[in-house]
Amino acid sequence: MNAGRVMAIVSVLVLAARTGVAVDAGLPVTFGQSGETISVRLTRSGCDATFPVVLEAYGRFWAGPTHAEDHTARFVVPAVRVPTVFRVVTANGDRASLAELVAYPRGYALGWGPPSSRVGLGEPSPRAMLVSAGAPVWFREWAEAVGLSVAVLESSDGPNSRGVERQRQLMIVGRDEAGRSPRDVMRFLNRRADAVLVLEANWFGELESPPDASGTAPLAIVPEMLAGELSDFRGQQWAAPPVFTAAASPWPGITNRWAWIERNATPLVERIGGPAGRITVSYVPWQRQLGRNELADMLFRRILLAAADPAMDSPRLERRIEMIWPREAEVRPGMRPVLAAAIKRRSGIGEVVSGVAKKSRLHEESPSDDVPRLRIVDLRGPDLPRDAAASLQLPREVSEQRPLVVLGTDSAFDEGRWADPPPVDDGDEGNAKKWPPGLTWLADDSLLPPALPRIQLMQVLTQWGVFLDFPENEEKE
């Protein structure tokens, strides 16, 4: 970890300790605007009986005592000048923490539509309307607190929704409407929505720390982790980046993937399902940083904007793959599911999707023989016999115009055949192989790799324009 990132994380932890807004991942979070009377959800570990609670911040009480009942307590949100985090604590005894209330100033406007005040980020308004399709409670509360208008979908199956005009729509989807997989989310695209942002789903993995982090290490989102629609933030210096204790593990199914926020090949925010599908998925619990960190609000707003109207310069999914090893007929779904999907789905473009539409917006493109094929050498699994390795018809030319992907390693395979010779006088670090721009080498050698190497392969195939789409039976993938 470089010194800049260490200092950024230390700055955040020191700031949290000084202001008393350190994140507690176990406490419910409620958002509100100054002057509103709101119901604050309390943790289930609190007392079941009626008991007095108060709002606490900066070492003093700001509201209450009021009596909590049925795991909720009602407060008038205190007047604040900047977003402020209050804790709901018991008024008597040990002052146990039961919930957090994030208060925004009265009249705060984040700038999605025409700003109602000069408070917040006044940037150009997009052409999309936010529509809640079972959006998480925290998102609806946060949107109201920052002045974002969110229409409510009356029924996921009905044609009408309250307050929804016929204009571009970004559907915000939560756990209840996300179904069992992204394929269930596609019904919004096929019937009414122009784009979908999934914030919570049962098909997300459990909240966990990144692979290189200890159980207590924070996950700081820093500019070098941003890509795709958020890449214009790269190169910035953030003194206090948003910090999370964990993020959900990504959906492991097979599809095209564009990472917008990524840490060590683990997507934290990604777009899936092809450039026309417009399904964006966030595995980050944003409610733990919104209102605590100005950059978190800015970044989350940019995710909303990008999800609603992503750039149209994504790579076209029209490239076929060419199996150099093994032969295409030997690529079985049980052993090489991602490659098998790439071979199978290139001929299935334009077919019925979930019985909804024969020309889905996820199926507008088709593989083209005018585009040079992506050549693949898959060395995963047992080593090749030496005669088989010697007989491989390996390409001599590798470039961005004639790309090659190599998977795994093999003792009989000359890994240096495409590498530039290292400088003679350099040390060990300088002697590392330097691959040409068109060569991607994924070293994981497992034929049935864990989820993250599979996701990395999907990202590479997507980068080179290979169509994957969603599997017919995702629960079996």
Task: Please report the pLDDT score of residue 123 as a whole number.
Answer: 44
User: Which DSSP state fits 218?
Assistant: -
Which of 90-94, 98-102, 138-142, 225-229 is least confident?
90-94
pLDDT of 351 > 60? The answer is no
Local structure of 67: helix, strand or coil = strand
Greater confidence (137 vs 316) lies with 137
Task: Please report the pLDDT score of residue 115 as a whole number.
Answer: 36
336/329 Cα distance (integer angstroms): 12
pLDDT of 120 > 70? The answer is no
Residue pointed to by tokens 């999707």:
353
pLDDT of 4 > 50? The answer is no
341 φ/ψ angles, rounded to the nearest 5 degrees: -65, -40
296 φ/ψ angles, rounded to the nearest 5 degrees: -65, -45
154/160 Cα distance (integer angstroms): 7
The amino acid present at 220, given as its one-letter code, is A
Options 1.10.10, 3.30.70, 3.40.50, 3.30.1490; CATH for 128-308 is: 3.40.50
Greater confidence (360 vs 401) lies with 401
pLDDT of 19 > 80? The answer is no
pLDDT of 125 > 90? The answer is no
150/153 Cα distance (integer angstroms): 10
- Average pLDDT (43-63) is 80
Please give the radius of gyration of the chain, using alpha carbons only, rounded to the nearest integer.
Answer: 25
Share of the chain above pLDDT 70, in %: 72
Q: Determine which helix (DSSP H) or strand (DSSP E) holds 374, and give its type and residue range.
A: strand 374-378
241/288 Cα distance (integer angstroms): 13
Packing angle between helix 451-463 and helix 337-345, nearest 10 degrees?
A: 30
172/281 Cα distance (integer angstroms): 10
Sorted by where each begins, the domain ranges of the chain are 20-104, 128-308, 321-422+432-476
What is the DSSP pairing of strand 219-220 with strand 257-263? unpaired
Local structure of 99: helix, strand or coil = strand
Q: Are 206 and 248 in contact (CB under 8 A)?
A: yes
Task: Please report the pLDDT score of residue 422 as a whole number.
Answer: 57
User: Which DSSP state fits 472?
Assistant: T
Local structure of 314: helix, strand or coil = coil
What is the DSSP pairing of strand 243-244 with strand 219-220? antiparallel
Task: Please report the pLDDT score of residue 94 as a whole number.
Answer: 79
30/362 Cα distance (integer angstroms): 36
Closest CA to 360 of 245, 191, 235: 191
Task: Please report the pLDDT score of residue 284 as a whole number.
Answer: 95
Architecture of the CATH domain 20-104:
Sandwich (2.60)
